[in-house]
Amino acid sequence: MNKPLAERLRPQSLDDYLSQSHLVGKTGVLTQQLNQGVIASMIFWGPPGTGKTTLANIVANESKRPFYTLSAINSGVKDIREVIDKAKQSGGLFTTKNPILFIDEIHRFSKSQQDSLLQAVEKGWVTLIGATTENPSFEVIPALLSRCQVYVLKSFSKADLEALLNRALKEDVILKERNITLQETEALIRLSGGDARKLLNLFELIVTSFDQNENIIITNELVSQRVQNNIVRYDKSGEQHYDIVSAFIKSIRGSDPNAAVYWLARMIEGGEDVKFIARRLLILASEDIGNANPTALVIANNAFQAVSVIGYPESRIILSQCATYLATSPKSNAAYEAIGKAQQLVKDTGNLSVPLSVRNAPTKLMKELGHGDNYQYAHDYNNNFVAHEFLPDDIKNTKLYSPGNNARENAQREFLKLRWKDKYDY
């Protein structure tokens, strides 16, 4: 049986690798590491079909290192230990050319499975390369994440995908023997969603739908006829993963419970991880609703806890309740905007000194140095409030939080106006 087109065209060197120039271009960080012969443990994070596995293979080939691979879907702690033992025996203890251990879908490993990698990475017995479609901040334990560089792979651009199609026509031994004219590419590229593997699979599906000797003219209409009705509507491993999650979140943000439950149903029917959905709802409750309805965060957190122990099919009800509640809640991104402004201010101004009046003074020396001097205890004053400066002198009177325009945050605005009328414009 012939290998799929995507496998036949898998690049074997950086020279053949399309896209990700920020990593593998002339000045790319991976190019520099390979040139220097020093490869750090790393995690590739990006959508499906962006070349994570291919890049791991190329790193191993070009660095001339032993290469071991595991899939987190069907590997356990025992498999990890066996591979690490093999890696140690291959010379990883006494050479900078330590073996590479590639783990596909590393986000599927449990905490204990990830823990089993720590010593091998720390001691340099292996150089770990993990691949994930999920945010490593959530899915990889901090101890392992701190030992790895995270590199983000981007979806292929239109130019990259067109170049890939042309390469397939020119270089693939099977396609070269067919009479194929690539007249239009827009439909193929649109349906691929920036996924190179999906693009080649769709292309091959069209070609193989014709007899061997037929002339094939690839047009947008042809693609629509032969492919569009056959594509998988949702694939939790990533085919339309990001588009549907995006539609789900934007429907809730846009206060449309009908669209929200439709996209939720698409994910449920596709077998999406309930915790993945609940986590997105938890983030949205704070980012897009916030203080307009603080109960939203409580509901979302409770939903996350509930589905974590219940699972399908009953968890669909909890997710639906949460999604419709969030969709019908008043919206505000004021808290999200405030922390963004504050973080930028920190980056712009650096480590400003904490005012003496609000510093901690647990020791006699600190008190003698003035820590806590002139601090005014709010509960000693009417309404438990007294105007005081809590920010560093260089940025005093800086307003970072502006309440949104909704009933609850309008009440917050009035609260702040009464207390800070001489300092902030609310």
Query: What angle, rounded to 10 degrees, do the helices at 274-284 and 315-327 form?
Result: 20
Tell me, rounded to whole angstroms, the distance of Cα 19 from its chain centroid: 19
Q: Find, among 248, 240, 238, the residue nearest to 281 by Cα.
A: 248
Cross-strand bridge partners of residue 179: 215
Q: Which two tokens stand for residue 192?
A: 């691929």
Q: Report how far apart, in Å, the C-alpha atoms of 287 and of each of 149, 215, 291, 293, 334 are.
A: 27, 53, 10, 11, 8
The per-residue pLDDT for 235 is: 53
d(CA 106, CA 412): 44
Q: Which residues contact 138 (CB under 8 A, 6 or more apart)?
A: 279
d(CA 129, CA 150): 10
∠ Cα 94 34 151 (to 5°): 105
Q: Which residues contact 148 (CB under 8 A, 6 or more apart)?
A: 40, 41, 42, 43, 121, 128, 130, 140
Q: Which two tokens stand for residue 155?
A: 């979806």
d(CA 408, CA 173): 66
Q: Which residues contact 402 (CB under 8 A, 6 or more apart)?
A: 334, 337, 338, 426
Query: Could you please report the per-residue DSSP string of 67-135?
Result: EEEEETTT--HHHHHHHHHHHIIIIITS-S-PPEEEEETGGGS-HHHHHHHHHHHHHTS-EEEEEESS-
Q: Which two tokens stand for residue 7?
A: 């496998």
Q: Find, among 220, 266, 224, 227, the residue nearest to 243 by Cα.
A: 266
d(CA 49, CA 38): 27
The pTM of the full predicted model, rounded to 2 decimals, is 0.55
Per-residue pLDDT tens for 356-410?
A: 888 887 777 777 778 888 888 889 888 888 888 888 888 888 889 889 899 888 9
Q: Which two tokens stand for residue 297?
A: 């965060």
Per-residue pLDDT tens for 231-253?
A: 444 555 554 677 788 899 999 99
On whether the CB atoms of residues 172 and 9 are closer than 8 A, the answer is yes
Cα dihedral value 163, 169, 173, 174, nearest 10: 130
Q: How many residues does the chain have?
A: 426
Q: Indicate if the alpha-carbon torsion angle 115, 119, 121, 122 is positive or negative.
A: positive
Tell me, rounded to whole angstroms, the distance of Cα 101 from its chain centroid: 22
On whether the CB atoms of residues 29 and 62 are closer than 8 A, the answer is no
d(CA 303, CA 299): 6
d(CA 45, CA 55): 12
The per-residue pLDDT for 190 is: 83
Q: What domains are there in the chain, each with its CATH number?
A: 20-152 (3.40.50.300), 158-230 (1.10.8.60), 241-327 (1.20.272.10)
* Segment (H or E) for 42: strand 42-45
Burial class (CB in 10 A: 0-12, 13-18, 19+), 274: buried
For residue 346, how many other CB atoms are within 10 A of its CB?
12
Locus of tokens 């047009």 = 219
d(CA 116, CA 189): 41
Q: What is the mean pLDDT of each run of 10 residues along the chain (426 residues)?
A: 82 86 88 87 89 91 88 82 82 62 89 89 90 86 91 88 92 88 89 85 89 89 73 50 86 93 87 89 95 96 92 90 95 94 88 82 77 85 86 88 90 88 82
The per-residue pLDDT for 16 is: 84
